[in-house]
Structure 1
């Protein structure tokens, strides 16, 4: 079964684009089921196939580094084949073992596997560009610990497998799958039957339409029930508004935030009413004149802003025109500079030509001088030999003096080193007193600021703990006092809110009673007018 794994991966990898869409949907489609049925895989083999395919898709950027580099060198063929082999060698070699991995490799084309494994398990490739390319995708430490080091560890054993694959190739034998020769058979041709005129299909009758149910034009029961509840609530609200004293005084539980918020609302209303009364006492007037003046001033401000916008727009147009003129001036200046540059270039070329002519003339003169100098070569050699001999004598005398000086310095350093070693050995030979007594009341004597003994340090730590405990107790008492003060404030606010609500309820009740009394009197007067046949409203007058 291990022999058909890679062929299965190749079929499944080439059956679609596994990098697009969900991998689980791809593995559950009809193509996977069809290929699994053709290869007759067991449950264990099918699980191994799915895990390997998922790993190939997940680590596709990592595997493409090796496979694409191999294709650049040996041509692009069998993309999925080499991808799967690279994945098995990198991630599953420890689980498969060398024997299982060898069975999968030997079941394939040995020449291609030999090339790819020799390329991938090359120590130079793994240690240089493959590691650098993988470091750009994943963390360098993770790559080295989990992938590069295991591959380098397996490299000697895989090298033996590569040599085994290379032996059949060296002998000229290319093992592969057995070829089945197909025998040609005659074509089984059938005589076509004569065509016949097709029978016309019967025209389908139109089905009888269904009647529209009466419930289509009637509102549902839920909607009617909601309308009735809405009407009842409206009537109840109207009756409550006419007779507010009939409302049940249902207590509402308020939290601290709601109490403070409602207290602040009533306080603000009371301050506004006091401010209004005070302004009326001071002789406040109708604010309509001020509002009219404010409206006029806002209109003037708007006109001023529009004028400024128009001014800025005109300034922008002027700036654009100036920019166009400046661009034209720059273009003319650039043309003039280009003309000057061309003239300078022509002048430099002319000077270069003159310089070349001068150099050629100097070279001819130099050649003539060399020809004349060859005549006196023997005299020049004798003078040179004498000069070299003199230099050698001077250098040998200087080197002898430097060597003597270096020897004296070396002897001096050795003597000083020997004396230092003797002093160290004398110090080491002295006995060492290892039993030391520690006095907890004595200061170390390092010369630091605030230096103290261990006893004093312990006392100060005890004092700090006591001070910290007292501070925590004071803070706890303060929190309790603050909590009590807050509760008292909420109680005061609740009392104030209840007073405001009672006052507002009484005022609303008085207004309702007055309104009902006036309405009742009016109805009585209208009835009297109607009974006495008097003009309407005469009694009201």
Structure 2
């Protein structure tokens, strides 16, 4: 058994456990499923340790909290559950494991941490004072003394031997390795000529500043043509999308089937009619089947079962009352219902015929809209041609403006080059001023450093004095033992005053009374639960029976509805006004097809002249592009010549700036 891995597994499970959100039993079952790879003994060890640490959490937490208070900040909070597991093994499993197994577990873990914890926990002074006092707040004093304090004190002698072994291992591991001694070798004393004095270092030659690079805007082409090309492509893409959408709508219009909107309105009318005729369900006659089905298709909760059972019981009572009234001589409203159904069928047939007429009128109006849209496209094409001419005029004006700016730039470069001739003398004067400033700054920094050194020495002496005072306070011993008599009262002379022992007895009696009341309440709850389960089972049988009957009635009703719908469709298709509208629609479609064929013939006849126009336009565009390229090339040559002239003039003096 690898005890180190097992203890790590227990601490990992403790870290994941959340007391307020998880149940102990379910959590241990899930943990056992995760530990299938381990052997049966290892699984038993991990599960027992996990259950023990969770059930005795209060006792173990008190020990670990006192241990952290003693050690201060030398320990990490991450190791808290590790100390809890070791404390549980020492308190509850030490007799079962034996000293040999327990020492193996301790030696497999971190030796320094285990030495600190065991030396604190198996200290008789700590057990009998702080730990016993904290445990007495949770359990009775006699139980704490007999079950935990006495067995732990009995194991203290043997645990001390284990602590000595851990201390010896720690000392061996902390000893440094012995290094080999170095032997000094004597060297002869050599008299030589003194070295000549080295030549003084040459002063650093000031480097010339790097010239600024030529800005990218000097040789950059204008952005306006790119923006115009992008706008053209975007507008062309939008026009193609609109054209495709118009084509798809056109073919959709030619579809002889009914539109989605018409089908949706028809389905809504049929649903409203079905909802109005639902009262026929109460007057249906038929013998109920005696089959029982406890298995329902949908899982119901308690409220849904009781509500549905009450609904079916109420329907059964209403049906029995109706049969009783019929036996006494009452009449059934079957004739009125038949008349009402016929009238509703007639109204529905008229509504469907009206919807069909509206659909056909909409298709006719769409055919007329297609013709109007063609006229709008021609007008838009004329507008596009005008905008193209305006943009060409703007580009010509922009080119003239750019030439004027280049001339002004050339004159500005010439003026700046003339102004940089006398910069060498100004640089020498600036160097002298900088040296003077550096000398003044060095003197001031020397004074500030001496002042800061004095302040640091005074602060250090004050801190040393405070440390001596704190160590003097810490060396004073503290008395931590408390002597309390549990049978004596506090002496306040009150009527309700009682001693600590009497208070504990009364609390024990109160706890027993509460346990008795809880047991009675638990029995009563179990009886109520059994009665409720029997009631729910009866209701489930009733619900299954009623649902099967409702399914049979719904199947018969759906067949009747299908038959009625087919009859309504036949009647609507034979309406005279609908047939007339269909004929007009066919005429409109034939007219549109004739116009389209005529338009295609005219385009085919006029195909050659447009080709010539396209060739002339293409040649014109090629000439314009050639003209613009020559203009840009001449501008670049002029700018390069200006830059070379300015660089030749500025190379005579160092550290001169170039301005473009």
Q: TM-score range by the shorter chain?
A: 0.3 to 0.5
TM-score (norm 1): 0.33
Greater RCO, 1 or 2 (C-alpha within 8 Å, sep 6+): 2
Q: Which has the larger radius of gyration?
A: 1
